[in-house]
Amino acid sequence: MSVKSILRLGDPTLRRVAEPASEPTAPDIQALIQDLTDTLAEAGGIGIAAPQIGVSRRVLLFSVPEARATDDPDDGAWPLTALINPVLEPIGDDRAIAWEGCLSIPGMRGEIARWQRVRVTGSMADGQPWEAVVAGWRARVLQHEIDHLDGVLYIDRLDDPTRFGFTEEVIEAEAAARYDDRQESRA
């Protein structure tokens, strides 16, 4: 269909609670999924939610690339998948911390704690129900995208404001910290 422009932090649509999509197979929802797919391919990300292209409906895309996968059996690479009206429920109390970015906050990263394992239910693009227990990056991406449907951005979940910054500086600082760790372990 078409590549849409991605709303950035400050646009009020990103802060709205999105409306459910009453019929996943309806033509407008199918067109929305295609627009999200085209926009994500152009932008180069691992997930996107409808409010990010200005459509306040509960529709998202998510994926996990091979490089991000961990060895948790409920984690791992995942092909790009559309979910409609997803509902998330944490399993257990474990949280995992990792750096996240967002297409609506370009050029920046923040360190965010997310549930390590969650159960997600929803509908797929063909209208079939979807249910899965996911962990690690699968769980992280889904929590990030479902937050978008509730008007929540990752910066709202920063525990430590000093763990937020421009991607290049964060990567440089993290690499320097790892180097320092290695030096210490040799001493």
Determine whether 145 is an active site residue: yes
DSSP-derived letter for residue 13 is: G
Residues that bind Ni ion (CB under 5 A): 102
What is the end-to-end Cα distance of the chain in Å, rounded? 58
**Between 26 and 41, CB nearer to Ni ion:** 41
* Residue 6 C-beta: closest distance to Ni ion, Å: 9
Catalytic residue among 145, 168, 172, 184: 145
Q: Which of helix, strand or coil describes residue 11?
A: coil
* Residue 84 C-beta: closest distance to Ni ion, Å: 18
Q: How far is CA 159 from the centre of its chain?
A: 18
**Between 117 and 144, CB nearer to Ni ion:** 144
Q: How far is CA 82 from the centre of its chain?
A: 12
* Residue 50 C-beta: closest distance to Ni ion, Å: 12
Contacts of 89 (CB under 8 A, 6+ apart): 118, 119, 120
Give the CB-nearest residue to Ni ion.
102
Q: For residues 67 and 147, what is the distance between their CA atoms, to the nearest angstrom?
A: 23
**Between 156 and 168, CB nearer to Ni ion:** 156
Task: Give catalytic residues, as residue numbers.
Answer: 145
